[in-house]
């Protein structure tokens, strides 16, 4: 069900803050947006990037930042739905980074699940992927 405007704005604020925190390599700020539960799962694009719990997620962010410079996430399309104290968002985005001194960007897809706790929306599950480029034609 489509989220009401208040929920949609609150979730969009979390997404914006996460993108800003990630771009700044601000681990404390990024982690403040993620529920501190042992069963929170974040999937990344690498085969080994299944992170469960705060420590694994922190380690993944630190690894990301050691491998890339100037990360950035630009959302092109966002859909937010909700039911009660749970919300979910689907996004088309562009992930930008400087890798080995070369600026690059990748089309990406992101899904996030949020839970409202004490009037705050927290990420409880996330998935980040790159669409299969072999399906694109010039």
Give the residue extent of every domain in the chain. Answer: 5-135
pTM for this entry? 0.92
Helix (H, G, I), strand (E, B) or coil at 12: helix
What percentage of the chain carries pLDDT values higher than 90?
A: 87
CATH number of 5-135: 3.10.450.50
- Biggest CA–CA distance in the chain, Å, is 49
pLDDT computed for residue 87 by the predictor: 98
Predicted pLDDT at 131: 86
For 93-119, what is each residue's pLDDT tens digit? 999 999 888 999 999 999 999 999 999
Q: How confident is the model at residue 132 (pLDDT cuts 50, 70, 90)?
A: confident
């Amino acid at each position: 069900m489509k989220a009401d405007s208040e929920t949609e704005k609150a979730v969009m604020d979390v997404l914006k803050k996460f993108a800003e925190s990630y771009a700044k390599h601000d681990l404390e700020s990024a982690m403040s947006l993620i529920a501190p539960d042992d069963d929170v799962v974040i999937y990344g694009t690498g085969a080994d990037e299944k992170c469960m719990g705060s420590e694994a997620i922190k380690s993944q962010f630190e690894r990301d930042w050691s491998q890339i410079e100037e990360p950035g996430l630009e959302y092109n399309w966002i859909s937010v739905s909700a039911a009660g104290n749970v919300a979910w968002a689907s996004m088309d985005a562009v992930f930008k980074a400087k890798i080995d001194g070369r600026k690059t960007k990748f089309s990406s897809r992101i899904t996030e699940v949020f839970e409202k706790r004490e009037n705050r929306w927290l990420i409880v599950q996330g998935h980040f992927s790159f669409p299969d480029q072999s399906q694109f034609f010039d």
